[in-house]
Amino acid sequence: MKDKSSRRDFLALGLAFPASAMASSSLSGPIDPQAPKPAIQSTGGLSYRVLGKTGLKVTTVGFGCMITSDPSVIEKAADLGINYFDTARGYQGGNNERMVGAALKAKRNNLFIATKTGASTKQEALDHLDKSLSELGTDHVEVWHLHAKSKAAQLTDELIEAQQIAKKQGKIRFAGVSTHSGHAEVIQAMIEKKDHFDVWLPSYNFTMEPAMQALIESAGKAGFGVVGMKVMAGGFRRAKPGEKLYDTLKRDGAMLAALKWVVKDTNVHTTIPSITDMEQLEENMRAMTVPFAKSDETVLAAQLEHIRPLYCRTCGECDTRCPKGLPVSDILRFLSYAEGYGQYSLGRESFLSLPSEARDVRCGDCSYCSVRCPHGVKVAERLGRAQEIFA
Amino acid sequence: MKRLAFLTVLVLVAQAAPAQTIDCGAVPGWRQDGPARSYEPDNLFDYMNGNAEGYLIYRFASMRGITCKHGEDTLVIDLSEMSDPEHAYGMFSATRDQRVPIEPIGMGGQVLPRRAVFVKDKYYLEIAANPAKDHSAALRGFVAAIEKTIRGQTAPPDQISWFPKDGLVPDSVRLVPESVLGLRMLKSGYIGQYDFGKAFLVAESSAESAAALMTKLKDRVGQSTAVGIADEAFTAADKYLDGLCVFRKGRFIGGFANLKGGHDATAAASKLAASVK
């Protein structure tokens, strides 16, 4: 019960979690106390924040165009006042940028467009940018991200140089990095090179550990504009039709509650939920005017309750309890890499780094499991699952 | 008798031969670089985080891939299995270069200087080539070799041929896997781009459910005018879909939207309705 209430408190408090304390322990990079505070304004059914040091005044709900099929939805979003649109060179084989450009052409001067390159060399990146601008039908983009960087080493000097060249040429206004995993390592590296970067685009949602909020806060303090993605907790990513999780996430209100949970974090300046239809658009717009409420907290707490048997808090209570000597919380964490965050290879790699005596244990060989999780995780079942998919 | 046994063995061997084979050795001079890749919906993000959703919405089932090298040239070959040929074709039509014609490779394909794609049955193949130069000869070699190893459907989905050709942007008909025309109630269907607007076609499970959906559509657009096409039809105007004409024929709902001023929506929709089988 204690955990349940604390988890609910976490959801309710969100940003009130002692993030700064965690930041100081998890990050050693310089923090700029003079970094601009995000301005928050609300007008005409829209709310705005300043995208960190870029100074761009962005709507707190933007538009992730990746899987949008119909440009009329993008056009309507612009008409309704959403001013931040995110695409990438690689989306839909390059067709996405063309569609986004055509949909936003009439309003281009009042909008901010972000795109990304997955290139690994300077020349390839610059080639990608030229292609992006051509497809988008514009002479510049506001933000150009290095796409899906999960390791500090991927922020190479030549990619940074490509962004600098593009800035000097006026083809981009600001340089960004998108991060789907390895958030701590990447933001640390960005902070160390903070003069080179302006915007961070991490995945961020209510299912993440509170430590993620600390990273977001650190990014804000460093002056980066922060754009949240995967804000719906990957509702379509992890859950499949017919599964309870899918039904829960599709339930009326759950997606909006998840979006509002991110929007209420003032260190996140805008968000880019994927939007495929007019109804989703209208629902998402409400996240800008309807504050996160007790009812949202209940919806999200129910969601967390649903995943409770699967979701390890890494409290460590179970360690040393296994008579076979399994590092239980570690293995559950590895499993969460694969099943919670879609990082199968990381989970497997971590599992295989365990000593062989731990790797070779099969929980099915025990008739009784003495490990009990105080938070309700079905330990034996989850360990068995990890052994099944990793060993 | 011996001959029959020999033929039987041949058939069995042929059936047992590995299907959907991707092999760097299929084209002389190429060798595999690194281990083969294998992904499923749960871990596709490991490979293409930031782009995986684009596969998942087309009912991605699995992917196998290899990287092939020839001197400094690299080909990254990925063969995806989708749930069915319709969604595989949908993936192809969403990601192909829409300015380049479709070639008759499997159900359809394209070979560009640095990229090749094709779809056959429920399989979608992509090859990306590096460095920047014309790799089309090698790409064609691999496409031909891999295409031969895939059995099954070679014709695009029937519905694509139902779109009237007059004014249709060539090869523009594509499967939209959710929210056709940006309307959630139109769950999945085809869109075709015309010089004067866009046509759509959605299949419901039964005529009854299609009729119920028509009622919902009419409610959504507000003021509409009934017209005489197929089982039922109406015209209306919408801020984002502009002039539109929607009909129901059996379990199919179709029509035109975003019609430019002066174009006869009813006539255009009638032609489409006449093609629906």
Answer whether B178 sits within 8 Å of A276, measured CB to CB.
yes
Cα–Cα distance for residue pair B245/B243, rounded to 1 Å: 7
**Which of B48, B54, B132 lies nearest to residue A92, judging by beta carbons?**
B54
Most confident of A93-97, A179-183, A232-236, B139-143: B139-143
Of residues A94, A236, A277, nearest to B183 (C-beta):
A277
Of B117, B179, B191, the CB nearest to A277: B179
Q: Which residues of B touch A181 (CB under 8 A)?
A: 49
Q: How does residue B14 score in pLDDT terms, banded at 50, 70 and 90?
A: very low
| B chain contacts of residue A335, beta-carbon cutoff 8 Å | none
ipTM given for this complex = 0.82
Predicted confidence at residue A292, as pLDDT, reads: 93
pLDDT at A4 over 70: no
- Residues in chain B within 8 Å Cβ distance of A88: 50-51
Residue of chain A nearest B51, judged by CA positions: A91
A-chain CB neighbours of B184 within 8 Å are 277-280
Cβ distance A237 to B184 less than 8 Å, yes or no, reads no
Better-scored residue on pLDDT, A3 or B8 = B8
Residue B17 confidence (pLDDT)? 46
- Closest Cα in chain B, distance from residue A76 (Å): 7
A67 neighbourhood in chain B, CB within 8 Å: 53-54, 57
Work out the minimum CA distance from A275 to partner chain B, whole angstroms.
Answer: 9
A93, A118, A180 ranked by CB distance to B95: nearest? A93
CB contact (8 A) between residue B177 and residue A69: yes
Picking from A237, A240, A341, the nearest residue to B53 by CB comes out as: A237
CATH of domain A13-294: 3.20.20.100
Mean pLDDT of B56-77: 95
* Higher local confidence (pLDDT), A26 or A303: A303
Task: Tell me: pLDDT of B30 over 70.
Answer: yes
Q: Does A118 touch chain B (CB under 8 A)?
A: yes
For chain A, what percent of residues have pLDDT higher than 90? 51
pLDDT at A200: 98
Q: Which of A4-18, A144-158, B29-43, B65-79 has the lowest mean pLDDT?
A: A4-18
Can you give the residue ranges of every domain in chain A? 13-294, 328-390
Residue among A95, A116, A344 minimizing CB distance to B98: A95
pLDDT at residue number A141: 98
Residue B254 — very low, low, confident or very high, per pLDDT cuts 50/70/90? very high
Q: Does A76 sit within 8 Å of B182, measured CB to CB? A: yes
Worst-scoring range by mean pLDDT, A80-84, A196-200, B14-18? B14-18
Q: What is the mean pLDDT of chain A?
A: 82
Whether A163 has its CB under 8 Å from any CB of chain B: the answer is no
Q: Is B43 in contact with A277 (Cβ distance < 8 A)?
A: no
* SS3 per-residue string spanning chain A: CHHHHHHHHHHHHHHHCCHHHHHHHHCCCCCCCCCCCCCEEEECCEEEEECHHHCCEEECECEECCCCCCHHHHHHHHHHCCCEEECCCCHHHHHHHHHHHHHHHHHHHHCEEEEEECCCCHHHHHHHHHHHHHHHCCCCEEEEEECCCCCHHHCCHHHHHHHHHHHHCCCEEEEEEEECCCHHHHHHHHHHCCCCCCEEEEECCCCCCCHHHHHHHHHHHCCCEEEEECCCCCHHHHCCCCCHHHHHHHCCCHHHHHHHHHHCCCCCCEECCECCCHHHHHHHHHHHCCCCCHHHHHHHHHHHHHHCCCCCCCCCCCCCCCCCCCCHHHHHHHHHHHHCCCCHHHHHHHHHCCCHHHHCCCHHHCCCCCCCCCCCCCHHHHHHHHHHHHC
Taking contacts as CB-CB distances below 8 angstroms, the residues of chain B near A150 are: 49
> Cβ B241–A72 below 8 Å, yes or no?
yes
Mutate to test the interface with A, among B37, B39, B40, B43 (most CBs of A within 10 A): B43
- Confidence at residue B174, expressed as pLDDT on a 0 to 100 scale: 94
Q: CA of B46: which chain A residue's CA is closest?
A: A343
pLDDT band with cut points at 50, 70 and 90 for residue A307: low
The confidence score (pLDDT) of residue B4 equals: 55
**Residue in B48, B53, B184 closest to A67 by CB:** B53
Chain A hits for B56, CB-CB cut-off 8 Å, are: 236-237
A contacts of B95 (beta carbons < 8 Å): 92-93, 95
- Residue A338: its chain B contacts at CB < 8 A? 42-43
pLDDT grade, residue A373 (50/70/90)?
Answer: confident
Is a pLDDT exceeding 60 seen at residue A30?
no
Residues of chain B positioned with their CB less than 8 A from the CB of A69: 94, 176-180, 182, 191
A131 touches chain B (CB under 8 A): no
Decide if A93 and B117 are in contact by the 8 Å CB cutoff.
yes
Q: Does position A170 have pLDDT exceeding 60, yes or no?
A: yes
Confidence of residue A40 (pLDDT cuts 50, 70, 90): low
Q: What percent of chain B has pLDDT over 90?
A: 77
Question: What pLDDT does residue B172 have?
Answer: 92
Q: Which of A63, A68, A70, A96 to mutate to test the interface with B (most CBs of B within 10 A)?
A: A70
What is the pLDDT confidence band of residue B13, given thresholds at 50, 70 and 90?
Answer: very low
pLDDT digits (tens, 9 = 90+) for B136-186: 999 999 999 999 999 999 999 999 999 999 999 999 999 999 899 999 999
Q: What is the pLDDT of residue A17?
A: 27
Residues of A in contact with B46 (CB under 8 A): 342-346
Interface contact flag, A116 B176, Cβ < 8 Å: no
Binned at pLDDT 50, 70 and 90, residue A236 comes out as very low
How many inter-chain contacts (A to B, CB under 8 Å) are there?
112
Enumerate domains of chain B plus CATH numbers: 15-148 (3.40.1000), 158-275 (3.40.1000.20)
Q: Per-residue pLDDT tens for B213-222?
A: 999 999 998 8
A178 touches chain B (CB under 8 A): yes
Query: Between A27 and B125, whose confidence is greater?
Result: B125
Average pLDDT over residues B56-73: 94
Nearest chain B Cα distance for residue A344, angstroms: 5
pLDDT value, residue A43: 63
The predicted model gives A318-341 an average pLDDT of: 78
Residues from chain B contacting residue A276 (CB–CB below 8 Å): 178-179, 182
Nearest CA in chain B to A234: B53
